Structure 1
Amino acid sequence: MKTSSKVIRTDKWKLNPSSKQKGLFDETVKVYRQACKYLVGIIYTHWSELGGLTADQLTPAVEKLMHETAKRPNIKYPQFNKAFYKFPSYYRRAAIAFAAGQVSSFVTRYCEWQSGNRKRKDSKPPRLNADTGCYPALYKGQCYKMHGFDQVEIKVFDGKNWVWTMVQITGLRERHQVATNKMMSPLLVFNDRYCHLSVPFTCKPEKRKPEANVTAVDLGINTTATVAVVTDDGTVIHCEFIHLGRDIDRRDKRLKSVSKRASKTMGKGGKLHIGFCSKTYQKCQRINTQISHVVSRRIVGISEKFNSEVIVFENLKGWKPRGGKRRSNLRQRFHGWLKEKIRDFTEMKWAELGGKVIEVIAAYTSKLAFDGSGTIKRNSKKYSLATFPSGKGFNADLNGAYNIGARGVFKLTRRNDEEGRSSKRSRRPPRSWACLCDLWTLRSSRLA
């Protein structure tokens, strides 16, 4: 069976080191960062010679400058071997690859700055940062050895020598259990807050054989996501509302506390210091990320359950919120709208299963009734409720999801010309956009 393009995803394997092992990990990270810092200077000095080499050619070229061997006794930078005695070869090669990436990035950005490609006219030139917070990459067999998936043996630095230490793995995900996934070299991430292996996998999803339906998603304010599964003949076989109200309230409560603290801090005409309530904002960002992951996971679960061909979103790029009535919190609610995060996380999760995400034009998706009766009217007290011209009441977000699904079907079947036709029967204005009723009309014409 043919496979689609490769997808790289990273798992986090939690480690449970002892206090002694924590000291070893700390020493290992420190000496690795010092080696990277040293190599950045060497590579940048000789970038005119090294810049045009491929990745496979660059590593041995750098080693000729700083790594002494029996066949290569005379090197230009013998200080490296003295400063990093018995530095493992695979750690050294990982450090060379990282340092080369830092130098390449700096040279590219500096050339762009010199050519005038700047965000502002007074932008300062970029700086070469050799003191980065990188972590050591581990190569299998040389830097780490797996003992099942319960323990891992890692080569670490004890201050004098490089030794092996066994550490317990306490947290895993499921990507290592997929036969088609290939495990790549992990990173040893260790600091005051974290201790885990960051393990990338090359995922090769099999070619799918989907059913003739799409999963349409309407991202809203009152309801985080409204999902509808629409077949190619206009039948809605499933609909679902996804709204994490408890988490949203938790986030909004923290944001409200910021305004109260700001009013007490500033007084009349005062100014807030840099980093005011930064911890609170970081917490709110993490809550937003968690909400986006949960919602996107449920959207992908629905698509997988019904074996949908694609997941359809509105194209909301460049959309800007408008302020509501005076003293309303509408603008603040729009700022908490996670339209981009949910869409991006959904695409990443769905691509791992071999699926695709498409976007349709957002104009009139929620404004037109899905049955073709015309423009809906929103309830002034409860904006999620809508009234059709026929007098029927319906959920406005669900109506939008139906229309998004219809446009997704038209886009897949390459009938975009149908999408722009006006409809006398539905009394919609000319040059309007497709609704669910257009799929019904198309089905009727086929049957006739």
Structure 2
Amino acid sequence: MATGKSGAVQKWRSDKLSHLGSSIFAEVAGWKEEARTNGHDIIDLGIGSPDQAPAPEIREALSAAVLRDDSYSYPASKGSAVFREQAAKWMSWRFGVDVDPGEELVSLMGSQDGLAHLALAVCNPGDLAIVPDPGYPIYSGSLAIAGVKAWPLPLLAENDFLPDLDSIPDEVWREAAFILLAFPGNPISVTADYAYMEKLVALALKWEVLIIHDLAYSEMGFDGYRPLSILQVPGAIHTAVEFHSFSKSFNMAGCRIGFMTGNREAVGALRELKSNVDYGVFNPVQEAAVLALELAMRGDGRLEVAPLYEHRRDMFVQALAEEGWSVPGPKATMFIWAPLPEGFCTGQSGRSRQFAQELLLKTGVAVIPGDAFGAQGEGFVRIALVEDEVRLKEAARRIGGFVRAL
């Protein structure tokens, strides 16, 4: 806030910022500080930041590249040719999908970079987009930035949280510029089979709507489930793009690298926008990512992250049940989407936030209230499995004491 020449108080803040969903994380950070001040040892199951490091070879490649004199020029916004070619090879190896690394793939500073900018690149102000509710906050936040209207598609427990495509009115399909979905998703690890994706592609082609598929958790499927690429459906390349991230798949969250691939017109639009915004991902990080994909394609499973989180899921869900709170185990991702326990009234708005705040201030365990992800998230909390087994068991013990006291 500042005073202008006329003496009037001016607010140096865009109204759009009030429509972004990241404020909850700042709010939870404040609760954590208060709990810490009150003497609690914080077990942070809030933000989904992996607690593991990348494989040693990946770190060594990054270190060696950082020390080279030729690593400090501006990288290309679209990504190095080597990175894009390797990402295309991985798409073929992992999903049997062939994409053109020159025209159908662009590097990103993490998938959130692309998700935040894509609406600006493919929409005009006043356009309409279909987004899931609950959904990752940047889904709706990116629309606010671009001046695009959101049509929330409810994810309901009675449908196993699978978006009901038949519930979307024809007039919404007719007006929509794109539909954004994630299988598996965040905060809800909802999954979709091939038949569902075929139906989605058919509808998108019929109505000329772009599909945006957020596949950041492609390598975190459990119990034999392997997440699918939307681009595996014939014809999808004409109407879909897909986001991939190294953050969760290779424990490279801090490196900030990912890519978008699919429809060349949409890829080209994002690449053109980003050429005016940034100079791309630091070259040593791209080199480390190239090696990560190479190691993954050896197929020996050494880099697989799913077994660790599957074990944590099983252990934590059982530990909570033993403490008196039964929550469903997810089929994928690092998140548990937990309905508020019996004894904590769910009939009023704000109860998810109250539960998360009281839990943190009384026990030191941080979770994220479900309403941070959309109106349909009321009555739930998201729990991230980002601590080791000992800490997760301790978190379950503390949560159990809190729930029994309700």
Is TM (by shorter chain) over 0.5? no
* The structure with more helix, counted as a fraction of residues: 2
TM-score by length of 1: 0.20
| Greater RCO (Cα-Cα under 8 Å, separation 6 or more) | 2
Q: Larger % of strand: which?
A: 1
